[in-house]
Structure 1
């Protein structure tokens, strides 16, 4: 074996005296020996590879996150109830053609964790890190919030405005979405009777209510990442229309062993009301990013939106034409 003299000396000092002894060790065990550091391990791996050999596999090595395509320490086996179509979409579109580690043979009548439809579902498992797991589990709630907004809009029929979704909720490979795509679109556009874009809608959803509706105790203040505020501003400027913030309260209801998501409250905020209701901008707890905190008074029940469109929207559109989109925080 063509090890350098330095590698040979370090292996001897680490009491590794034969190639058989070396090959019985994995990288973690080798690095635990004195005098064996990352560069020495790298040199050993290169020499072994040239000879068609390798160190032993580590039974405790971290798993690779299917969405990140990286080995990460917090990647664990995560389980989701999915219909066949959504499971295939996850594997092909978001997990780099990685099939589930395991799929249950038992078929259950329940709610799919992605499309939130009552379907025949099966338990499917992938290795995912904690961040990607949270993203995956948020998708069913996000899809439910989109349908809730669409049905609520149809019920109240804001005068002269038709709604269309422009940024669908879908699972993407991590890091694949460009900054241009991220900031230039609102979640919905509302078009006038002649087809021109009149306003945009940025949708946020959560478990908590706001004052004047919903289910349960209302949240004391509304939190929005400053990057989300910047995205709203960038979309408004790129589209040359105001972008409104809508909050949907989405709660889970058991349909054991699955869960369905239901919309129970909806509110809107004028962008012109946000800055005057801002309380603070500070770093979020346990996260290295800033958030703006707003008084919940800036929101109105969505049922009041038709009256706003009829009586106030024209003046707000003129204001934007005159002085531009307002600062949000």
Structure 2
């Protein structure tokens, strides 16, 4: 059917461009997908948009592109690096992924084979199945980090209970738990600086905060493997610690957990093997430099690892040095962790 006889409300200029490209009928046009349309001589983004709008007004659409970018389930938009990503999940965590992180989007595929293994999210030994969603590289890294984050928080909670067993009046409370949520749920405007844990005294009053960072590498004086040479912390994280300390009106301590993966074929479990803390009053003295992270546009503060001590020493620190730290904060405020 010719354009003039089809009832397609297409602008004369666009019709002429299509005719010059040897597209002489609506049928020919509908055989194309958007990528092929844009490859026609004289057709750019502007012309393409006007042609698509005319088709939509007529209840028509171009052909589906078999090579179009996949849609990232977490971002809910097409991404060139969106690929099928695979996760061993228990049934409850699979449902939580679909409902909370992927906008009620079911997996593209779930294996019918049930195996005993560790769920990559809750890190519990359960019956798991391999599940797949389309995710971009960034979202895949975020999703894979969540299981580590949960394992890290549990490791800190259990280590706190073991380490402070003789001082049960100082109880740890998680205030910023790991959450499944779509990308972009929080904006920079809505962002509120908080800490991962707070410690309350016997009267229920918050006396200190704990900001948790975890990774695969050890620090001096414990853990598994060669210790890292420097510890890097995004300057935005440093700023958040300072803001949270001011909001809570108590000191906030940085804690690093070493979390490693151990094979339980075909799955992997996460295990905490090392824990350290750093006093915010000592961090500025151990600052080496502030510079951009490699291949990223974020600034990070680089600290000497000597600022960290084994977490087993934290109770003694709290008992003997903490009162002076608290007095210092009330008198002079929370220390600046870095200076640009």
| Structure 1 length-normalised TM | 0.98
CA distance in 1, matches of 2:10, 2:217: 62
1:242-271 deviation digits (Å, cap 9, x = unpaired): 111000000000000000000000000001
Partner of 2:298: 289
**Does 2:277 correspond to 1:263?**
no
1:58-116 deviation digits (Å, cap 9, x = unpaired): 00111111111111111111110001011101111111111111111111100001000
Of 268, 281, 304, the match for 1:272: 281
Find the residue that maps to 1:271 and give its secondary structure. coil
Of 13, 19, 40, the match for 1:12: 19
Partner of 1:165: 174
CA distance in 1, matches of 2:252, 2:263: 34
Partner of 2:145: 138
Alpha-carbon offset, residue 171 of structure 1: 1.8
CA distance in 2, matches of 1:245, 1:166: 15
Alpha-carbon offset, residue 178 of structure 1: 4.7
1:4-37 deviation digits (Å, cap 9, x = unpaired): 1100111112121121111111010110111000
Partner of 2:73: 66
Partner of 1:222: 231
After superposition, residues 175-324 of structure 1 pair within 5 angstroms as 175-179=184-188, 182-324=191-333
CA distance in 2, matches of 1:50, 1:186: 52
Find the residue that maps to 2:255 and give its secondary structure. strand
CA distance in 1, matches of 2:213, 2:315: 20
**Does 2:67 correspond to 1:56?**
no
CA distance in 2, matches of 1:134, 1:196: 37
Q: Cα RMSD over matched residues?
A: 1.2
CA distance in 1, matches of 2:192, 2:315: 27
| Structure 2 length-normalised TM | 0.95
Partner of 2:4: none
CA distance in 1, matches of 2:116, 2:324: 51
Tell whether the 8 Å contact from 1:206 to 1:248 is kept in structure 2 after alignment: yes
Of 24, 28, 41, the match for 1:34: 41
Find the residue that maps to 2:192 and give its secondary structure. helix
Partner of 1:155: 162
Partner of 1:102: 109
Tell whether the 8 Å contact from 1:250 to 1:263 is kept in structure 2 after alignment: yes
CA distance in 2, matches of 1:270, 1:166: 20
Partner of 1:25: 32
CA distance in 2, matches of 1:178, 1:197: 28
